[in-house]
Amino acid sequence: MRMVDIIDTKRNGGTLTDEKLQFFVDGVVDGSIPDYQISALLMAIYFQGMTSSEQTSLTMKMMHSGERLDLHQIPGIKVDKHSTGGVGDKVSLPLAAMVAATGIPVPMISGRGLGHTGGTLDKLEAIPGFRVELSEQEFIDQVAKEKLAIVGATGEFAPADKKIYGLRDVTDTVDSIPLIASSIMSKKIASGTDALVIDVKTGAGAFMKTLDQSRALAHALVDIGKQAGLQCMAVISDMNQPLGNKIGNALEIEESIDVLKGKGPADLTELVLTLGSYMVVMGGKAETMDQARQLLEQTIADGTAYDRFKAMVVAQGGDPRVMDDYQVMPQAKYQIPYRAKRTGVITKLTADEIGTASMLLGGGRQKADDQLDYSVGIELHHKLGDHVKAGEPLLTIYSNRQEIKNVEQLLDESIEIGDHGEQPPLIHEIIE
């Protein structure tokens, strides 16, 4: 088999057989296919797309290129959640604790943030002592005992994806639906879960800016998951504005624990309950979405979700005082109000620019090896569609420096106040 023939097939709109995709993935991993031929095939896939069975075949071959976690020692249906990434998206933290509190094992493998989006692991590391790197056996034992763990990848999942992702980044082929879907799902299937709920973000602050693109990605992800034998569904949720009110690592831990105390913001709590209800039905603890929602609400009311989160903090070496004293996490020196420039209705509150503002304060990474400042970030006092008065604080900037002109300039661009505006729906579509 020759790589040039594989490129030729796809360039001319043909379908790649299992054998051809296996040859490609093997050659990526063993280095026998040069970067220029891998890149040429990626560009051909970008323009010609892939059939549903091609996407699944590529995913499974990338998944088999690395380690696969075996979670059979943990009894019960294991359920996980994945988000395509957003600003203020701390859903995994309260969600894992609430679902675990219903008795379903939640083995969560999460990532770090880059650019305007945050990462669940970075947020957890704002808790003094919290360890996100557990050995495979520690991870399995903790999920079996406490019903939840949130960690970084324990083994090397899908090394073919790592190489391909690096080339997509420099060949402008990142935003191809079959390439995104196979990249995400190869790692998720390798993580050994039985069921997966996917939160596909849509809007100005999301990877996919339009509902059509988000729907196509959601269908591709769910198709691959089902063909790979997982229970799988997707929720398309809004990312035109940040989720919840707090953006920044320690601030997002505070807001997550607030959800577990029944004091979380309405949008965040609603999204957690929606995603969680699907997880509870998939995990076999409820027959209907209504029953599942009631069970999850009960975990807040009776404190069992709070207890699960605390148990995870203790098991992973974190300071449990964080549950009731947020000051044990790093605190910013200055709290600087950002005020409304006129009276009216908030018509723009663009999530990615607000995420970038938090990054510029030191809360996110511009490069993969940047050090984070856990204490900084932004707290929103208003959301899209709210009426505000000139001079009233729209948000508070948590900073360790007083001079924040670049951040304020970015906020000037990301926020608009007009005469009429409305709230976007939180949940756009469900794909099952």
Residues identified as active-site: 82, 161, 168, 183, 187
Nearest to 176 by CA among 24, 44, 21: 44
**Nearer to ligand URA (CB atom), residue 68 or residue 348:** 68
To ligand URA, the closest distance from the beta carbon of 165 in angstroms equals 6
To ligand URA, the closest distance from the beta carbon of 164 in angstroms equals 9
Task: Note whether 180 binds ligand URA by CB under 6 A.
Answer: yes
Give CA–CA dist 212/199, Å, rounded: 15
Do 254 and 238 form a contact (C-beta atoms < 8 A)? no
* Residues 250-309 close enough to bind ligand URA by CB under 6 A: none
Do 254 and 330 form a contact (C-beta atoms < 8 A)? no
Q: Which residue has tokens 């005992």?
A: 145
Task: Note whether 99 binds ligand URA by CB under 6 A.
Answer: no
Distances in Å between the alpha carbon of 384 and those of 26, 302, 404, 407, 416? 49, 33, 24, 20, 10
Task: Note whether 59 binds ligand URA by CB under 6 A.
Answer: no
Q: Which stretch binds ligand URA (CB under 6 A): 149-157, 176-184, 304-312, 325-333?
A: 176-184
Q: Which two tokens stand for residue 145?
A: 């005992």
Long-range contacts of 219-223 (CB under 8 A, 24+ apart): 219/431, 220/52, 220/55, 220/177, 220/178, 220/180, 220/181, 221/181, 221/184, 221/185, 222/198, 222/431, 222/432, 223/52, 223/55, 223/56
Give CA–CA dist 79/225, Å, rounded: 13
Q: Which stretch binds ligand URA (CB under 6 A): 7-15, 179-187, 228-236, 310-318?
A: 179-187
To ligand URA, the closest distance from the beta carbon of 265 in angstroms equals 26
**Nearer to ligand URA (CB atom), residue 184 or residue 197:** 184
Give CA–CA dist 269/275, Å, rounded: 10
**Nearer to ligand URA (CB atom), residue 25 or residue 410:** 25
Q: Is 22 exposed, middle or buried (0-12, 13-18, 19+ CB in 10 A)?
A: middle
Binding mask 154-173 for ligand URA (x = CB under 6 A): -----------x--------
To ligand URA, the closest distance from the beta carbon of 105 in angstroms equals 23
**Nearer to ligand URA (CB atom), residue 91 or residue 273:** 91
**Nearer to ligand URA (CB atom), residue 177 or residue 415:** 177
* Residues 182-211 close enough to bind ligand URA by CB under 6 A: 183-184
- Positions touching ligand URA (CB under 6 A) are 165, 180, 183-184
